[in-house]
Amino acid sequence: MRNFTIGSVTDIPIRLNITLVVFLPLLAWLISRPEQLAAYATAIDLVSPHAVDAEAVGAGRTPLLLGAAAAIGLFVSVLVHELGHSWTARRFDVGISSITLWIFGGMAHMEDLPEDWNVEFWIAIAGPITSLLLAGGFFGALQVVPASAPVVLYVVGLLAVVNLSLAIFNMLPAFPMDGGRVLRALLVRSRTYASATQIAATVGQGFAVLMAIFAVLSGALLLLLIAMFVYVAAAAESRTTVVRDMLRGITVSDLLADRGDAVEADTTVQSLLERIVAERRNGYPVVEGTELVGLITLAELRDVPPSERDSRRVSEAMKTDPPTISPDADAFEALRLISKERTDRIVVAENGRVYGTISQRDLMSALEAMQGLGDVSQTEIDADGYA
């Protein structure tokens, strides 16, 4: 789904997913409903030195203002939670490519997947600790807010409760939440990474089932969606770990199927089609002289009408600025890049030299041949972040 970059914090791009753009106004409206305001007021009264003035917060347009402030405050809190993960990851030299906020919260996307249990433990637990610190800060502020400012009292108290809830909820031992990663980190001390992941993923799916049952019984639709997401994400995490173990020690050059010359940008589409038939290849890097300028595959060539194939040049049909990877890179990194770029083929190049292309099919075929796993073509490598 589409993401919008809205800025950066400490050089980390911050992105909003379209699901959040659509959901945020709805969330603000839901929070503004009288029954929700009353429920949150009850929770705030537990931590506030002053009781919430229900009449004041329910008058006029105040509920809508409170709903908007609470919804925005929630996702700002989620952003700070993700920054806690990100800043800790940087301390362990793990790069963060971006933070994405979406309907289910946030995700800090890592450039590497740490397997050291100590590194994963501290990165994972940093988010809940950050939320606890935020909750403590809002709780402290709540002690000095006068009863004569009921709206401020409500917002500050709600943010204290929200951040405490974020910390507790994220520590449930269920992927992709932080508690699941903490559990895996602790298990890795006495087990292989793959075994620890499978155990943690199974526990996560168990919690997802319990959440789904509770959601159905209580009529909590959003919780049901979260439970479904957690169940699927836990399974994806387990598959990702299995694939990474299978590809360990294998480089892109070991699996490079499409080798040979690139195609010149001024080649006609018809000439390339004839070459594809003769060489039985599905994609070519496109060059001008020695410079890589694009990638052309059958998918692009099919879009060229037959009547124009003799006159149209490859440069007019190719994908420009194609994703590239070094031949010495891990094969798993190639699979991650293909998934990240949402493409089925990337160019293998280094230091101005083009070696060929590698596709998702090449990688999946290699996996099936090595392990006899059957069809693994639907594997997605998306488990690269902390929620």
Q: What tens digit of pLDDT does each residue of 160-174 get?
A: 999 999 999 999 988
Does residue 352 share a domain with residue 239?
A: no
Q: Across the beta sheet with 283-288, what order do the strands follow?
A: 263-264, 283-288, 291-297, 319-320
Segments of the chain assigned E as strands? 3-9, 12-17, 96-102, 105-110, 258-259, 263-264, 283-288, 291-297, 319-320, 324-325, 345-350, 353-359, 385-386
Q: Across the beta sheet with 105-110, what order do the strands follow?
A: 3-9, 12-17, 96-102, 105-110, 385-386
Q: What is the pLDDT of residue 376?
A: 47
Does residue 343 share a domain with residue 227?
A: no
Q: Is residue 273 part of a domain?
A: yes
Q: Tally the domains of the chain.
A: 3
The pTM for the full model equals 0.76
User: What residue ranges of the chain have pLDDT lower than 70?
Assistant: 1, 257-260, 370-387
Does residue 344 share a domain with residue 280?
A: yes
Q: Is residue 121 part of a domain?
A: yes
Does residue 284 share a domain with residue 159?
A: no
* Domain hosting residue 95, numbered range: 3-171
| CA–CA dist 87, 100 (Å, integer) | 15
Point out the catalytic residue in the list 35, 82, 111, 279.
82
Q: What is the pLDDT of residue 93?
A: 93
Does residue 300 share a domain with residue 344?
A: yes
Does residue 49 share a domain with residue 15?
A: yes
Q: What is the pLDDT of residue 367?
A: 81
Distances in Å between the alpha carbon of 65 and those of 45, 125, 157, 166, 180?
20, 33, 15, 22, 36
Does residue 227 share a domain with residue 91?
A: no
Percent of the chain with pLDDT over 70: 94
Q: What is the pLDDT of residue 377?
A: 45
Q: Has 115 been annotated as catalytic?
A: no
Q: Is 84 helix (H, G, I), strand (E, B) or coil?
A: helix
Does residue 268 share a domain with residue 225?
A: no
Q: What is the pLDDT of residue 258?
A: 56
